[in-house]
């Protein structure tokens, strides 16, 4: 028996688990290995797709199924099996064509679990694909990469994406959510799909008491899980994330997740 038996910690990746150089630091890795060695369950809850997480997977000391694509996809590496998949539904193709017609040249990524296609590839797509070390197919039209898709990701400068979000929400909020995961990344998924729902599903699958579930995140797509559970936001996170979280820890460049584990050691030790 370990002090963390029955405790689940779910962390966002970029800006929370990783520093701003997209590195998993030695102190964070050591803290998480200590957490799992003493019975804790550690996983990621990220906007990254299965393909976008693949390069990082061997480096992260996971021992619970992962929550990917903002909760639309839950995968158990231990048994090599999908536990939950929610494809985009409703008028998603109509919405995509409408948004692209309104904002021609808008960088757009179409995500499946193991594949990404990019339309109107731009410098923000380049930064994003480089940071997650993900291969992709460049396409000219959605028909070149037929659905179903897990999510759409609009990738452009922040001012453009603010206009995209305002337009899209005014027309499609009944069907879809539009959430910033970074200033240059606007996520489109089915309404009701989010990390909080993904964490809740996973906790139920593992038969855990929700009072022993903790989350950590730094951005707009983390707000739901930060509010739903006792939670942590790095000092480097957005003002919204810090306001939503139960606790603020040092920045992601100062080993934020090591500080989270230290907090839990005080709680359970």
pLDDT of amino acid 209: 97
**Domain count of the fold of the chain:** 2
pLDDT of amino acid 246: 98
On whether both 104 and 75 belong to a single domain, the answer is: no
- Listed in sequence order, the residues at least 6 apart from 117 whose beta carbon sits closer than 8 Å to its beta carbon are 109, 110, 136, 137, 138, 139, 144, 145
Residue 37's CB: how many other CB atoms inside 10 A?
12
Q: Which domain holds residue 163?
A: 92-190
Tell me 22's DSSP state. S
Reported as a pLDDT band with limits 50, 70 and 90, residue 162 is: very high
Q: Is the pLDDT of residue 249 over 80?
A: yes
Tell me 62's DSSP state. -
Q: Considering only CA atoms, which of 111, 190, 113, 172 is closest in space to residue 145?
A: 111
Q: Dump pLDDT digits (tens) for 203-245.
A: 999 999 999 999 999 999 999 999 999 999 999 999 999 999 9
Q: Dump pLDDT digits (tens) for 115-155.
A: 999 999 999 999 999 998 999 999 999 999 999 999 999 99
On whether both 21 and 139 belong to a single domain, the answer is: no
Q: Dump pLDDT digits (tens) for 43-61.
A: 999 999 999 999 999 999 9
On whether both 250 and 212 belong to a single domain, the answer is: yes
- Listed in sequence order, the residues at least 6 apart from 171 whose beta carbon sits closer than 8 Å to its beta carbon are 95, 98
Instruction: Tell me the C-alpha to C-alpha distance, in Å, between residue 68 and each of 46, 165, 196, 226.
Output: 5, 22, 12, 16
pLDDT of amino acid 73: 98
Average pLDDT over residues 24-35: 98
On whether both 158 and 100 belong to a single domain, the answer is: yes
Token reading at 240:
């919204």
3-state secondary structure of 235: coil
Choosing from 146, 172, 190, the residue where a domain stops is 190
pLDDT of amino acid 165: 98
- Percent of the chain exceeding pLDDT 90 equals 97
Residue 23's CB: how many other CB atoms inside 10 A?
12
Contact 177, 156 (CB under 8 A): no
On whether both 52 and 109 belong to a single domain, the answer is: no
2 located within any domain: no
Token reading at 159:
């001012």
pLDDT of amino acid 94: 97
Distance of CA 267 to the CA centre of its chain: 26
């Amino acid at each position: 028996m370990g002090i963390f038996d029955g405790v689940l910690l779910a962390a966002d990746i970029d800006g929370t688990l990783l520093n701003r150089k997209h590195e998993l630091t030695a102190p964070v890795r050591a803290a998480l290995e200590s957490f799992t060695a003493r019975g804790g369950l550690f996983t990621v809850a990220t906007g990254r797709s299965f393909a976008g997480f693949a390069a990082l997977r061997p480096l992260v000391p996971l021992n619970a199924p992962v929550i990917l694509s903002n909760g639309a996809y839950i995968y158990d590496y231990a048994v090599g099996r999908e536990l939950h998949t929610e494809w985009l539904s409703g008028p998603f193709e109509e919405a995509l064509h409408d948004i692209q017609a309104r904002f021609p040249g808008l960088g757009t990524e179409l995500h499946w679990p193991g594949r990404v296609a990019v339309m109107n590839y731009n410098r923000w797509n380049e930064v994003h694909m480089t940071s997650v070390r993900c291969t992709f197919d460049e396409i000219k039209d959605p028909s070149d990469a037929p659905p179903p898709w897990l999510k759409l990701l609009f990738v452009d400068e922040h001012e453009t994406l603010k206009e995209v979000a305002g337009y899209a929400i005014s027309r499609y909020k009944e069907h879809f959510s539009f959430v910033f995961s970074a200033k240059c990344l606007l996520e489109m998924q089915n309404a009701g799909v989010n990390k909080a729902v993904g964490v809740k599903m996973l906790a139920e699958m593992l038969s855990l008491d929700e009072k022993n579930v903790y989350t950590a995140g730094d951005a707009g797509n983390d707000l739901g899980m930060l509010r739903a559970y006792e939670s942590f936001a790095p000092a480097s996170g957005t003002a919204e994330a810090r306001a939503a979280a139960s606790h603020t820890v040092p920045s992601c460049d100062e080993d934020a997740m090591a500080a989270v584990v230290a907090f839990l050691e005080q709680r359970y030790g």
